[in-house]
Copies of this chain bind each other. A is one copy, B any other.
């Protein structure tokens, strides 16, 4: 039944966005801006004062590294359309090793989901997870920051199958019918930022502070932030009114599904997820969790895109060539839940 519904939506033809706000029309905003939430002050003691020349040839300045430091805050940028059609704010959370840029202009230079959802009339909030991008970072985190080598995401994010990467673009093989704009892969890699693997608790804390400030709301998560989305939903079940999980890396806590009964969840997977040695496990974890949530009375819709006729999507769905089509699916689901008009 679910598959039939989504097949009908896809077959319906004209994208939702094209009905309401053509990409050629201006974007009219009643306001736009940014802020940081959360964080705390830490104290460092016992280090020597340094004299630092900040600019070559400049005047040396004394810098005392001791003292209190602001750490662990999170950056948020917002765009509030003049003609609002989303009934609640929409929060877009990115995946690991990336920043809010994930939802901005795609690596191929075409509009991303940020512009789509603003044009669809959502008050849209994009954040850089604590520690990444404009949130800043601190040397007080445990462990080392890491970055992915240039070729690594090609297979990790299912642009091409295992073994398909080659330093020579001409010899690099994408999945047949891949929707990822392969020529734009180098531009995609410029979006990467270092990440730690020890900071989940601080990341979730900052997201909760954002939710406490902005919500009730709809939260859209991707990849690593799937985990964060479920954790925040478990902590603030009355404030997150819908969760859209795009290729989440995990489900939530099976012992807490009872808390989530009033929040509809929409989970979306791209192509080749079922067969991929790593993604098949990741997907199954999410599907198993969804089963437990449904068993407890929760509302979950899972879409494997190839099953509704949308083929070739990578893990970076919002950057794929057909990103308006997948955004349309999300928009229609939100409209169906009464959260937009």
Report if A148 contacts B (CB, 8 A).
Answer: yes
Asked whether A128 lies within 8 Å of B134 as measured between CB atoms, the reply is yes
Q: Distance (Å) between the CB of A49 and the closest chain B CB?
A: 11
Asked whether A63 lies within 8 Å of B152 as measured between CB atoms, the reply is yes
Chain B residue numbers with a CB within 8 Å of A70 are 150, 186, 189-190, 192
Chain B residue numbers with a CB within 8 Å of A82 are 26
Asked whether B133 lies within 8 Å of A192 as measured between CB atoms, the reply is no
Report if A309 contacts B (CB, 8 A).
Answer: no
Q: Distance (Å) between the CB of A145 and the closest chain B CB?
A: 7
Asked whether A193 lies within 8 Å of B150 as measured between CB atoms, the reply is no
Asked whether B139 lies within 8 Å of A145 as measured between CB atoms, the reply is yes
A146 to B53, CA, bound (A): 12
Q: Distance (Å) between the CB of A197 and the closest chain B CB?
A: 6
Report if A216 contacts B (CB, 8 A).
Answer: no
Asked whether A134 lies within 8 Å of B28 as measured between CB atoms, the reply is no
Asked whether B104 lies within 8 Å of A33 as measured between CB atoms, the reply is yes
Interface size on A, residues (CB 8 A): 81
Asked whether A151 lies within 8 Å of B104 as measured between CB atoms, the reply is no
Chain B residue numbers with a CB within 8 Å of A151 are 67-68
Chain B residue numbers with a CB within 8 Å of A191 are 36, 136
- Among A61, A111, A134, chain B packs the most CB atoms within 10 A around the CB of A134
Report if A55 contacts B (CB, 8 A).
Answer: yes
| 0/1 string, A190-209, CB within 8 A of B gives 1 | 11111001001000000000
Interface residues of A (CB under 8 A from B): 26-36, 39, 41, 44, 52-59, 61, 63-70, 73, 75, 77, 82, 96, 99-101, 104-105, 109, 111-112, 115, 128, 133-134, 136-139, 144-152, 156, 167, 186-187, 189-194, 197, 200, 224, 227, 249-250, 278, 281-282, 285
16 example contacts (A-B, Cβ-Cβ < 8 A) are as follows A26-B82, A27-B31, A33-B111, A55-B249, A56-B200, A56-B227, A58-B249, A58-B282, A59-B281, A63-B152, A69-B149, A70-B190, A101-B134, A133-B136, A137-B194, A138-B147
What would 7 more interface pairs be, CB under 8 Å, given A56-B200, A100-B134?
Answer: A33-B104, A63-B152, A65-B146, A68-B149, A70-B190, A137-B194, A139-B145
